[in-house]
Amino acid sequence: MELKDVLEASGISYGTLRKYVDLGLISSPHVERCGIGTISHYAEDILNRIQEIQQYKLDGKTLAEIQSIMSGIEIKEGPVEQDVILNYLQSVLDTLKIRLDTVIKLEPTPVNLAEKRIVASRIECVQWQLETIKRPTVFKEQLERVALSNELKEKYKEII
């Protein structure tokens, strides 16, 4: 799906789309050279992903929370094995670092440079998640915020 079609169908701005790509919420497009310009082709499921992100935003989630949810790391109410999450995030971080090393060795084409930027951004995100979880008070506050959010949603479900 081409960039203009994505923007038109989703109703989001180009800046918002770029932010979603930079945060790893949406896969980066395949860029095709065309005369003196380029055409960006996005995956066919992009509209579903954007709709999912927008729904999370309507539910009051921050982009950091959406990132965690969409990467498969959702902090749920109840006991959470902190070590399991830490180990998972560390393995994700290791994989991303290997990918970054591979991309750095490639010829510096615009696509490879974009991939390098995206992988570096994802590394920063995972490192932030690791640091947040390693600080027990912050981790506890996140769990309490999720519990409070769930409690308020349940209490006011008729209004919401």
Query: Model confidence at 9, in pLDDT bands (50, 70, 90)?
Result: very high
Instruction: Verify that 58 and 81 share a domain, yes or no.
Output: no
Residue 9 structural domain:
1-70
Instruction: Verify that 60 and 87 share a domain, yes or no.
Output: no
**Residue where a domain stops, chosen among 14, 39, 70:** 70
Predicted pLDDT of residue 154: 65
Instruction: Verify that 48 and 93 share a domain, yes or no.
Output: no
Buried b (16+ CB within 10 A) or exposed e, 5-41: ebeeebebeeeebeebbbbbbbebbeeeeeeeeeebb
Give the chain's domain count: 2
Mean pLDDT of 85-109: 82
Q: What is the DSSP string of 53-72?
A: HHHHHHTT--HHHHHHHHTT
Instruction: Verify that 126 and 82 share a domain, yes or no.
Output: yes
Residue type for 156, please? Y
Name the pTM for this structure: 0.47
Higher pLDDT, 58 or 88: 58
Enumerate the β-bridge partners of residue 32: 39
Is the pLDDT reported for residue 80 higher than 60?
Answer: no
**Residue where a domain stops, chosen among 20, 53, 70:** 70
**Residue where a domain stops, chosen among 70, 100, 123:** 70
The tens digit of pLDDT for each residue in 124-138 reads: 888 877 777 676 666
Instruction: Verify that 81 and 153 share a domain, yes or no.
Output: yes
Mean pLDDT of 90-109: 84
